[in-house]
Amino acid sequence: MDAQAFAELSAEILRLHRHGAYDRALELVGDQFPKWGGRFAFWRACLATRLGNVALAVAVLDEALARGYWFPQRLLLEDEDLRALQGLPAFKRIMEHSRERQVAMEAEAKPEPLVREPTPAANRVTSLHLVFHGSNQNARGGVATRAGPRSAPRSTRVRAALSGRAR
């Protein structure tokens, strides 16, 4: 499945979560997006905890760690959905393993800027697009989910600001 399908499914899961339909949201969170498996595992754990199924939440996080995923400490500690897991020995172990994996991954990480050169065209204004991706994203994913007509108004303001003609 592609980035657009992932974005649509994510929006629906988050909408159901906001409305307290945790059981319906949990039904949607599956393995159909292996590329985003860590995020889906986190969501499954959050939804299971909200439904009072602490054992499932711990099992999901354990399985995600076994598959090579990790979760930022701050996310594990500050997410309200996981509040019921805090203080459990299993959750402390999950946090420790996750922190170890995070430290190892950060030590190996190398930034890979993605640059797309414009194609020259006569009498065409070329704009500058800067895409910043967030946590759990990469440059290609950030471009894929932010490209398109919705970025045009913002790019116009940036182009105008850079040329000194800010509106």
CA neighbours within 13 Å on the CB side: how many for 10?
A: 15
Entry pTM: 0.69
Q: Output the CA angle 126-130-134, nearest 5 degrees.
A: 160
- Can you give the residue ranges of every domain in the chain? 3-108, 112-167
The residue among 39, 82, 45 whose CA lies nearest residue 61 is 45
Confidence grade of residue 123 (pLDDT, cut at 50, 70, 90): low
Query: What's the pLDDT tens digit per position in 72-120?
Result: 999 999 999 999 999 999 999 999 999 999 999 889 988 878 787 777 7
Structure-model confidence comparison of residues 125 and 56, the more confident one:
56
Alpha helix segments (H runs only) across 19-151: 22-28, 37-50, 54-66, 73-78, 89-108, 139-146
pLDDT of residue 35: 84
- Tell me how far apart the alpha carbons of residues 5 and 86 are, in angstroms, rounded to a whole number: 33
Predicted pLDDT of residue 105: 87
The full length of the chain comes to 167
Q: How many CB atoms lie within 10 A of CB 98?
A: 20
